[in-house]
Chains A and B, each alone.
Chain A
Amino acid sequence: MICAGIDAGSRAIKIVLMDTDSRQVIAKGLIDQGVEQDKLASELFEALLKHSDINKKDVAKIVATGYGRNAVSIADTTITEITCQAVGVRQLVPKAMTVIDIGGQDSKLVQLDRTGKVRDFAMNDRCAAGTGRFLEVVAERLGIKLESLGDIAAKSKRPAVISSMCVVFAETEIIGLLTSGTPREDIIAGVQAAIAERVVTMAGRNLELPIIFTGGVAMISGMDLALKCALQKSVTVSPAPQMTGALGAAILASSQLNRRRP
C-alpha cells in the first residue's frame, strides 16, 4: 500500500509518497505555489505517480497539511502542520526535542516530549515579521536572489539594527539604512537577526536540545547562525527541511491506515 503526504505551504507545494509497510519514501516532489493550488497539487501528485510507476488505485490514503490543506481536494483528510512537522522531523532526527519551523508566512515552534508527541507549540500571530516574507522583502529591495542572502550576510561585521515590529515598517527602515549608506551585508545580517529575535520572543529561551530547524527558510544560509546567536543554543538544520511537513503527513497517513487495519 502507498500513502501520500501533501504539504500545501504558502510558497511551495510538497508531496511525499511512502510505502505504508516499510515506511520508505518512494518519491518526493516540490512545486511553487500558485493561485490554482488544488490543480497544482493534483498535477504534482500525478507526475510523481507516473514517475515512480504507481497506479493511483494503490494510493490508500492521502493526508494534506500546511496553510492550504483545506483546498487540496484529492486529500482524504487534513492534519495541521504542527503535528506533521513534529512527526516528520522526528523521523529524520529521532532525538529531536524542539522544532523551529519558519515558512513563507508563518513561524512555528513545537516542543516535543520524549516519545515525540507534541507537548507545546507557539506560532506568530498576525504579523509576518518573523517569517520568510521578511527575507523576501529585503531580497526584493536589494535586488538579490533569496539563495545568495546567506553568503552576503556572512561578510557582515556589524549587523544593522532593525527594530520595527512589522514587515511594512521594516521595509521603510531598510530604505532608510540604504540611503544612509549602510552596507547591504549588514542590512541582511540585521534582518536575519531580527527574524531570529522574533522567534525567540515567541519561543522563550528554555528550549530543550536538540533544536531542529526546518521549513523553507532553514535552507537560506545564515539563518541557522542567526537563530543560534539569538537563542544562545545550538541549532541544527533538519535534513530536507522543505519536505518535513509532507513527510510527516505521509507517515501519519500510514499510521492511520495501519491503525484501522485489524
Chain B
Amino acid sequence: MGKCCDKKKRQIDAPDPCNPPGPQYVSESSAEKEPQNGPLAWFGKMIQNCYEYATEAKAQGKHIVGIMCEYTPRELIMAADAVPVCLCGGSAEMIPTAEEHLPANLCPLIKSTYGYHLQKANPFLEMAELIVAETTCDGKKKMYELMDQTRPMYVLELPQKPADSDAMAHWVSELRKFKTRLENQFGIEITDEKIRQAIRIMNRERALRRELAELMKSDKPPLTGRQLLKFKSSISGISADFEQYAEAIKLLKSQKPHCRRDSQVRVLMTGVPIVHGTERVLDIIESHGGLVVCMDNCTGLKPILEDVDESAQDPVFALAEKYFRLPCSVMTKNDRRLELLREMVAEYRPQCIIELIWQACITYDVESYLVRQLAEKELGIPYLRIETDYSPSDSVRIALRVEALFETIRERTHEQGTPAVLLRKTEAAGGTQRRCSGG
C-alpha cells in the first residue's frame, strides 16, 4: 500500500453492550475533509440556496410547483413560467405525525413527505400552488388522495406496462392534459418554443451532472459517493448551480488521483432514492471502507442518463418518450433497470452491489430478487440487500453486514489478485491500474 495512505488509528467507541449508543457508524477517521468554499460548499447549503431562489422567483410573479417523482417532466412546468421543486421528505421527525393518518407499515419516504404536509413544515410545499404526482406505487398514490383534501393536487396516470404498444400514446395524452391544466391554472400559453427552451436548460443540467458522475469511473475517483450525491438541487435549472457544476468538473478533472482509493471497496448502490437527509446507509458504507462509485437510483444516475430531443417537431412527445423510459420498479416488466445495471457494472467496475430498500417498499423489495440474481449469477459479484427506514436504530447491524461483505471481498481479492470481472472490464475499457505516486 502506498505510504501516502496511512491508516488512521481506530476510533474507540463508548462501551454499552446492550444498548447500542447513538451508533458510531461514522468514524471520524474516514470522513473526508469538507472544503469551506467552492462547489461542494455551495451545494452544502443547497436547501438554503433553493429557498432563496424560490422566494425570489415567487416575488417576481413566478409560480412554485411541487413534484414528488422523477417521472414528472420538469420541462413542462418550467415552460409554464413556474419553478418545479422536489418535495420528497427525508426527515424521520415528520413520521410520527404522518402515522396519525397513515399506517405505520408504510415507506418512510411517503410518511415523511406526508408528515411535512400535516405539520406545514416544508416551506417549499407551503409555497407551492400546485403539486404534481404520478400513479406510481400504491402507497404514494393513496397518500396523494389524503393530501388532495387540502392541497391542489394533479395526478398523472402513469401506464405501468411500458412495453405495450398503446402505453406511450396514453402517457403522451396524460402529458397534454397536464399541459392544459398548467395553462389554465396559471393563465399562460405554453408554446412549443417555451418547452424547447426548458428542454435545453434541463439537458444542460443533466449533462453537467452526468459528467460529474462519470468522474467516478476512474480507478481513483476524485469524490466519494456521498460528495457526489451533494451535487444536485431540489430545484432544477438554477443558473448559479450550473456555474458551480462546471467549476467542480474543472477543478476535479485537474486534481491528482486520490491516494486513499487503493484500499476502498468499489460499491454500486441501487434501489430506492436517497433523498436529502437520508444518507445514513451511504455513510455507513463509506465509513467502513467502501466507496460508492455509482448509484443507479432516482437520486443518482437513472433520471439523468438520457436527454430530450431539443429539435423534436413535437416537444411534448419528446418529453413523454424520455420520461417514460425511466426504469422504476413500479413498472412491469422493468427489464430496463437490469440492462442499465449491466452497463453500469461494466463502466464503473464495482466489486459488489448493495441494494437499499425502504421498509415496506413492496416494488423494490420484490424486484430485489431479480437484482440479486443478476449480480450473483450473471455478473459474478456479491450482492447485499439492506432494508431499513429513517431511524438509526439498526445502524450497528447494517455496519456489521457491510463490514463482513467488505471482508469477504478483500479476502477474495487478496487471494486472486484483481477479481476476474474487474480485470476484464478494466482491460476492455483500456484502463490501467494507476499507482499512487506518494507524497
Residues of A within 8 A of B (CB): 8, 10, 33-38, 67-68, 70-71, 73, 77-83, 106, 117-121, 123, 125-126
Which residues from 263 to 299 on chain B have a C-beta closer than 8 Å to any C-beta of chain A?
A: none
Stretch at the interface among B8-16, B120-128, B147-155: B8-16
Are B17 and A67 touching (Cβ within 8 A)? yes
Query: With A82-B400, A125-B394 given, is the CB distance from A71 to B12 under 8 Å?
Result: yes
Query: Quick check: is B18 within 8 A (CB to CB) of the other chain?
Result: yes
Residues of A within 8 A of B412 (CB): 117
Cβ-defined contact, A79 with B407, below 8 A:
yes
Q: What mask results when residues 147 to 189 of chain B are scored 1 for a CB within 8 Å of chain A, else 0?
A: 0000000000000000000000000000000000000000000
**29 chain-A/chain-B pairs, Cβ below 8 angstroms:** A8-B17, A34-B17, A35-B17, A36-B15, A37-B15, A67-B17, A67-B396, A70-B10, A70-B11, A71-B12, A71-B15, A71-B17, A73-B12, A81-B400, A82-B400, A82-B407, A83-B404, A83-B411, A106-B397, A117-B408, A117-B415, A118-B404, A118-B408, A118-B411, A121-B401, A121-B408, A125-B388, A125-B394, A126-B394
Given A78-B10, A118-B411, A126-B397, are A10 and B404 neighbors across the interface (CB < 8 Å)? Answer: no
Enumerate chain A residues within 8 angstroms of B408, measured Cβ to Cβ: 83, 117-119, 121
Contact A121 B404 (CB under 8 A): yes
* Cβ-neighbour of B403 out of A37, A38, A80, A119 (below 8 A): A80
Would you call B363 an interface residue if the criterion is a C-beta within 8 Å of the partner chain's C-beta atoms?
Answer: no
- Assess the B15–A35 pair: CB atoms within 8 A: yes
Q: Which of B15, B401, B407 gathers the greatest number of chain A CB atoms within 10 Å?
A: B15
Residue B197 CB within 8 A of the other chain? no
Which chain A residue lies CB-closest to B13?
A: A70
Residues on A with C-beta less than 8 A from B24 are 70
Q: How far, in whole Å, are A251 and B397 apart by their CA atoms in the complex? A: 24
Residues of A within 8 A of B400 (CB): 80-82, 123
Query: Which residues between 391 and 432 of chain B lie within 8 Å of chain A, taking CB atoms?
Result: 393-394, 396-397, 400-401, 403-404, 407-408, 411-412, 415
Give chain A residues whose Cβ lies under 8 Å from the Cβ of B397: 106, 123, 125-126
| B14 interface neighbour in A10, A71, A106, A118, Cβ under 8 Å | A71
Q: In this complex, which of A10, A34, A118 has the most chain B Cβ atoms within 10 angstroms of its Cβ? A: A118
Q: Closest residue of chain B to A127, judged by CB?
A: B394
| Contact B12–A10 (Cβ < 8 Å) | no
CB distance from B79 to the nearest CB of A (A): 45
Residues of B within 8 A of A36 (CB): 15
How far, in Å, is A109 (CB) from chain B's closest CB?
Answer: 12
Please report the C-alpha to C-alpha distance between residue A62 and residue B407 in the assembled complex, in whole angstroms.
17
**Which residue of chain A lies nearest to B382 when distances are taken between CB atoms in the complex?**
A120
- B-side residues, CB < 8 A to A, are 10-18, 24, 382, 387-388, 393-394, 396-397, 400-401, 403-404, 407-408, 411-412, 415
Could you tell me if B17 and A117 are in contact, using CB atoms closer than 8 angstroms?
A: no
Q: Which residues of A contact B396 (CB under 8 A)?
A: 67
Q: Measured between C-beta atoms, what is the minimum distance from B395 to chain A in Å?
A: 11
A118 lies within 8 A of B15 (CB): no
Residues of B with C-beta under 8 A to A78: 10
Nearest B residue (CB) for A259: B414
CB nearest neighbor in B for A126 = B394
CB distance from A74 to the nearest CB of B (A): 10
Beta-carbon contact of A82 and B16 below 8 Å:
no
The answer to whether A126 and B393 touch across the interface, beta carbons within 8 angstroms, is yes
A37 to B13, CA, bound (A): 11
Which of chain A's residues has its CB closest to B19's CB? A35
Q: How far is the CB of B376 from chain A (nearest CB, A)?
A: 8
Contact yes or no, B15 A82, CB < 8 A = no
Bound CA span A82–B403, Å: 9
List chain A residues, Cβ under 8 A from B388: 125
Which one of B24, B387, B404 has the highest number of Cβ atoms from chain A below 10 Å of its Cβ? B404
Residue of B11, B396, B397, B411 most packed against chain A (CB within 10 A): B397
CB-nearest residue of chain B relative to A73?
Answer: B12
Which residues of chain B have C-beta atoms less than 8 A from A120's C-beta? Answer: 382
B17 touches A68 (CB 8 A): yes
**Measured between alpha carbons, how far is A47 from B74 in the docked complex, in Å?**
68
What 5 A-B pairs come out closest when comparing CB atoms? A71-B15, A82-B404, A80-B404, A118-B408, A70-B13
The CA-CA distance from A77 to B11 in the complex, in Å, is 10
Q: Which residues of A contact B401 (CB under 8 A)?
A: 82, 121, 123
Cα distance A71–B403 in the bound complex, in angstroms: 16
B17 touches A77 (CB 8 A): no
Q: Is the CB of B16 within 8 A of A35?
A: yes
A250–B107 Cα gap in the complex (Å)?
A: 42
**Nearest residue, chain A, Cβ from B401:** A123
A190 CA to B32 CA, complexed, in Å:
51
Are B404's CB and A77's CB within 8 A? no
User: Which B residue sits closest to A39, measured CB to CB?
Assistant: B15
Q: Nearest Cβ distance between residue B110 and chain A, in whole angstroms?
A: 20
Pairwise interchain contact B15-A38, C-beta atoms closer than 8 A: yes
Q: Specify which chain B residues have a CB less than 8 angstroms from the CB of A71 in the assembled complex.
A: 12-17
Which of the listed residues B11, B388, B408 has the most CB atoms from chain A within 10 Å of its own CB? Answer: B408
B407 touches A118 (CB 8 A): yes
Q: Report the Cα distance A68→B15, complex, angstroms.
A: 7
Q: Which residues of B contact A83 (CB under 8 A)?
A: 404, 407-408, 411
Q: How far is the CB of B65 from chain A (nearest CB, A)?
A: 38
Cβ distance B292 to chain A, nearest Cβ, rounded Å:
20
Which one of A10, A35, A77, A126 has the greatest number of beta carbons of chain B within 10 Å? A126
A77 x B15 contact (CB < 8 A): no
Q: Report A165 CB to chain B, min CB distance, Å.
A: 12
Q: Chain B residues near A81: list those with CB within 8 A.
A: 400
- Max count, chain B CB within 10 A of own CB: residue among A70, A77, A106: A70
